[in-house]
Each structure stands twice: as C-alpha cells, then as structure tokens.
C-alpha cells in the first residue's frame, strides 16, 4: 500500500509526496489519529477514461478499490495507483493533474472529503 499526497508547489505545479502515516499502538493494533470527514462517495470509471488537467475539487483521500489509476503531473511524471493505494488530493490551486483509468478493468474508487 502506498500513501501519496499531491499538492501545489510555489511554482504553481502539482508535485508528488510520499507520506509516512504516524501510527501509535492501541491494544494489539497500530492506528492513526482520527480525521474529520464530511462524507463518502464511490465512483466507477470505465477503463481508458481520461480526465485532462484539473485540480482536486476539495482536500480528500481517494482510495482505489478496483482497477488502476494513473496520475500525471506537469513535469511529465506519472504514478500508478493500484487497489488499496491511497491518494491525498491536495492540489487545490495551480495547473492540477491528469487522471486515467488504465488496464482492462473499470476503476472503482472511494473519495473521502476531509474537513478542517
């Protein structure tokens, strides 16, 4: 599982940042602090679907459940997200990013808008 944040840099371009989640031990598990969310939305995107340059509509986690998503940024870098991978979409200004449902299967994801 990877957790990757996309954010807008001082140059107005979107950048990738790998996140290390801060876990703490609770009983027999490791947990992160609770984050506030305003809802949950599931999305099904046909294979091959492409969204040209756009910003994140709000700060949100996007978790791929099925299929694959490729995210592209302005310098030409692309990252592949597989089932279980988490994207923190935080590029609310600037040029934004592209997304494409790649592979032969429809992509199913869940978006969790964050509050605060």
Summarised one tens digit per residue, pLDDT across range 28-68 is 999 999 999 999 999 999 999 999 999 999 999 999 999 99
In order of start, what are the domains of the chain with their CATH numbers? 3-113 (2.60.120.10)
> Average of pLDDT values for 92-110?
96
Q: What is the pLDDT of residue 1?
A: 73
DSSP single-letter state for residue 54: E
Mean pLDDT across 108-116: 95
Distance of alpha carbon 71 from alpha carbon 101, whole angstroms: 9
Question: Per the structure block, which two tokens stand in for 2?
Answer: 């990877």
Query: What average pLDDT does the structure give for the chain?
Result: 96
Residue 112 near residue 65 (C-beta atoms within 8 A):
no
């Amino acid at each position: 599982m990877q957790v990757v944040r996309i954010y807008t840099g001082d140059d107005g371009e979107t950048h990738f940042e790998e996140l290390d989640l801060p876990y703490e031990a609770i009983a027999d598990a490791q947990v992160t602090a609770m984050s506030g969310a305003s809802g949950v939305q599931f999305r099904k995107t046909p294979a091959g679907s492409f969204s040209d340059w756009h910003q994140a509509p709000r700060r949100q986690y996007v978790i791929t459940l099925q299929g694959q998503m490729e995210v592209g940024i302005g310098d030409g870098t692309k990252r592949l997200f597989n089932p279980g991978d988490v994207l923190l979409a935080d590029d609310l200004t600037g040029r934004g990013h592209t997304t494409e449902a790649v592979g032969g299967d429809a992509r199913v994801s869940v978006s969790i808008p964050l509050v605060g």
